[in-house]
A and B are shown apart, each in its own frame.
Chain A
């Protein structure tokens, strides 16, 4: 309660400050390249929040996986099955398959599993991370029930050639190396980036499964990763642009065994992703065409599972006036899966349309519609309506009310429908109805900047698919209904004092995810919180910059998680503290870079994100980035 009181204080306390700010900044500000992708995501998303992660922090976390970055930097919770192991995202209390992941606009959730393993997306493969909080199926299609995550690459024209070399050395045998070269001409630019990550993960853990709980060294958790990223951009004419991105990634893992198990599983993941985008910018319209391919091969011990997604799409974004804008598009996907027990191909066509209406400078309304047709069968029609009202503007201050009502859906995965045995071709799409309201403020007072954002959401998810035991095998069925509701709070402030710049960030998420149905008549589960959805996650960060020096301290606290649907087995809350210092250097304008030293899990907390999956204790990391 005291926390909520603090949040209310932040919001109400600053309301009377005199200042002003413009509404709808995405339309009126000059945007850097970094923000272009985010702005495109935000344009038709009035009423919802698209958050861009801090680029400097991403640089400091080079060599880390997207999973580790989101766990450390946001209020989102990821189920991590060990160090460098499977990491699945849960947004707003939904399951791992209820959020969509995109790389340069290409959907990269596995078509067979319906989710992404966030541990095999290294930060070397993209420049920006944007997080769209909340149900957004009308904008992005299948899976975006709890939200979506968008990875993108930047490539600017007219930039000096740049060679960047990054090295990270860390505890337990962590070694990351990355080399990238960028050349940016007036009409053509490209960048080549190669990286290698290696983590022996020989950390000490307490073996709770053995008598005397001895300390042991982790022996079967080695992770190695290599990858190549190639980006191209052509300015065909002042109005025409072509962009191409390629990402090849290979990940080899020894699967860290569950405590008490003697398994020695190994997994190899190979992926090739490519996206080509054509853009024509007219006076009042922008026409885009996109094609892409995402190919994934996963070899678990001897079993090989391969999926391929081919995408072709086009969209027209037309601006009738300052008040009316509309976007219409069509997307075709061809999916092919060759799994250990079945093969399957299928096609999907999606039509979507979004409209922005801004009756006044302070009010924006978005409406989106999407219809997906899969193999001739219609998925649930997905409308969405959002609004943003800038109700208080003064010099330096802007206060907004936001709201959104939307439907989303998830097409049953290939495995859900066709795995032998137990795949169920008659499955219905999972579907959700989501409502959210929020209030946000930004204050910009010369040396002091503050941002507050509070959202309440309420969502009903139906036809939730579970695999349940039948007489001789397990089968996928639409059995679960869940009501998710909660709060998201975000706070950021910076204060400049002479050479010092102070900053505080707070992320808080309250997630209630309550099972309404029981699962196949299991009354013990009715009314209970879903497993591995912590009710609370709080993350705070304080940092101080002074000239070339920067120091930070951050903490994340995750509340208890239930292991079973009846909430009888509980995993203890944990709190982790990290700190680090970086020093930026420059030598005669020819060489620049930064040095960093970081300490993670400072108090050597013995914790498990998922029960019986050991996590590393205190560990250190040294990084050096040089730019020539």
Chain B
């Protein structure tokens, strides 16, 4: 018996030593590499899906969600938010699917009482989901809200926080949730409270928050300009606004940013769509025609390979195409993807 105990202790010691010197690597899941492509899907068809692109082999895996979970995603995929453990697929048809980030296995969903969900953020062990709410008779959204779910794998909505109309992107700073609302405000919500603490009026139509050099920015646009509002991290007031003269930037607010503080934005012009390159550092338009074509819909920038990904919707009648363009604006290749490629995630 003593020999057994000794053997066990030695084994445990050996294990500890080995762990300390040579940590066991958890193998990365299939979807923690490469590129996840968000395909929004067509209205009335609910055929949003995630495609996976392998940068080494240039192979595409179609319909990742359906392949793994043997059921269709069945929604219009508005946003994809990924954390180390779970990835959240936000559908504007009123649901959020939760999958494991490593293998895309479904672990739950939020399906009840969402109407037109747009994006989400995770904070304090809760999910905060922005939702436009229903349309009224004049096609306005007067009952917009942020839904709070107290389980990271989905389930019932614990409560709803009414917000200004058309909430889009969210951010978590300190103990506050910031909500970009399309009618020109940032709504500030203190975690744990069930109402908006204050609203901050900003110029343009706000869409998404992003971080650059330790600062929180808000992306907003109107028909003439793009606005990057730099926010105070304590009061969330706008401390500086960078304005760029870019007309008709895409209506869904899609853009991407790289590590050098260069922003890429789609501008819909009369006969073509143009990717415009902006610089936060210089506060100016760097390249008015970085790349042009037609039916541009989504953008993503891969800093590792210095590659810009442009999603083309191809008129929505069929599936879309992704163009890969290098940092010089030269086309690398084209890849067939799902319907309405609207965004990219680089794990």
Seen from chain A, the residues whose Cβ lies within 8 Å of a Cβ on chain B are 208-211, 213, 258-263, 302, 466, 468-469, 471-472, 519-522, 524-525, 528, 531, 563-566, 568-569, 611-612
The answer to whether B321 touches A208, judged by C-beta atoms less than 8 angstroms apart, is no
Which partner residue on chain B sits nearest A567 by CB separation? B318
Contact of B73 among A260, A263, A524 (CB under 8 A): A260
Q: Within residues 309 to 325 of chain B, which ones have a CB less than 8 A from any CB in chain A? A: 313-319, 321
**Chain B, Cβ-Cβ closest to A303:** B137
7 pairs of A and B residues whose beta carbons are closest in the complex? A260-B74, A209-B74, A565-B318, A262-B94, A471-B268, A566-B318, A522-B314
CB pair A468 B93 closer than 8 Å: no
Which B residues from 90 to 115 make CB contacts under 8 A with A?
A: 91, 93-95, 97, 106-109, 111, 114-115
- Write out the residue numbers on chain B whose beta carbons fall within 8 Å of the beta carbon of A564: 47, 317-319, 339
From A261, A472, A520, B268 is in contact (CB under 8 Å) with A472
A557 to B47, CA, bound (A): 25
Whether B248 lies near A612 (C-beta < 8 A) is no
The answer to whether A472 and B248 touch (CB under 8 A), given A208-B72, A211-B108, A261-B93, is: yes
* Residue contact A471 to B269, C-beta cutoff 8 Å: yes
Known A208-B72, A612-B74; contact A563-B314, beta-carbon cutoff 8 A? no
Q: Would you call B319 and A566 a contact (CB within 8 A)?
A: yes
Q: A262-B114, A468-B316 are in contact. List 12 more A-B contacts (CB 8 A).
A: A208-B74, A209-B71, A210-B109, A260-B46, A260-B74, A261-B93, A466-B317, A519-B314, A520-B315, A521-B294, A525-B314, A568-B62
Residue of A nearest to B135 (CB): A301
- Residues of A contacting B317 with CB < 8 Å? 466, 468, 519, 522, 525, 531, 564-565
Enumerate 18 A-B pairs (CB-CB under 8 Å) in ascending A order. A208-B71, A208-B72, A209-B72, A210-B109, A211-B154, A258-B45, A261-B46, A262-B115, A263-B93, A468-B315, A472-B268, A520-B314, A522-B314, A524-B321, A564-B317, A566-B319, A568-B319, A612-B74
B333 shortest CB reach to chain A, Å? 15
Name B's interface SS.
Answer: loop
Nearest opposing residue in chain A for B153, CB measure:
A211
Contact B314 A524 (CB under 8 A): yes
List chain B residues, Cβ under 8 A from A260. Answer: 46, 72-75, 91, 93-95
* Chain B residues whose C-beta falls within 8 Å of the C-beta of A569 in the assembled complex: 47, 319
Measured between beta carbons, the chain B residues less than 8 angstroms from A472 are: 248, 251, 268
Inter-chain CA distance A209–B49, complex, in Å, is 12
Q: Which residues of B contact A (CB under 8 A)?
A: 44-47, 62, 71-75, 91, 93-95, 97, 106-109, 111, 114-115, 137, 154, 248, 251, 268-270, 273, 294-295, 313-319, 321, 336, 339
Bound-state CA distance A520–B47 (Å) is: 21
Q: Is the CB of A259 within 8 A of B74?
A: yes
Chain A positions within 8 Å of B248 at CB level: 471-472
Smallest CB-CB separation from B75: which chain A residue?
A260
**Cα distance, A302 to B269, chains bound together (Å):** 34
* Residue numbers in B under 8 Å from A302 (CB-CB): 137
* Residue with the highest number of chain A CB atoms closer than 10 Å, among B95, B248, B268, B317: B317
- Residue of A with least CB distance to B316: A469
CA distance A569 to B71 in the complex (A): 13
A66 to B62 CA separation, bound complex (whole angstroms)? 39
- Answer whether A261 and B45 are a contact pair too, CB < 8 Å, given A211-B106, A471-B248: no
Assembly CA distance A466 to B95 (angstroms): 30
B44 touching A524, Cβ below 8 Å: no
- Would A519 and B318 count as touching, CB distance under 8 A? yes
Q: How far, in whole Å, are A564 and B317 apart by their CA atoms in the complex?
A: 6
With A472-B248, A568-B318 already in contact, the answer to whether A524 and B336 are too (CB < 8 A) is yes
Residues in B neighbouring A261, C-beta threshold 8 A:
46, 75, 93-94
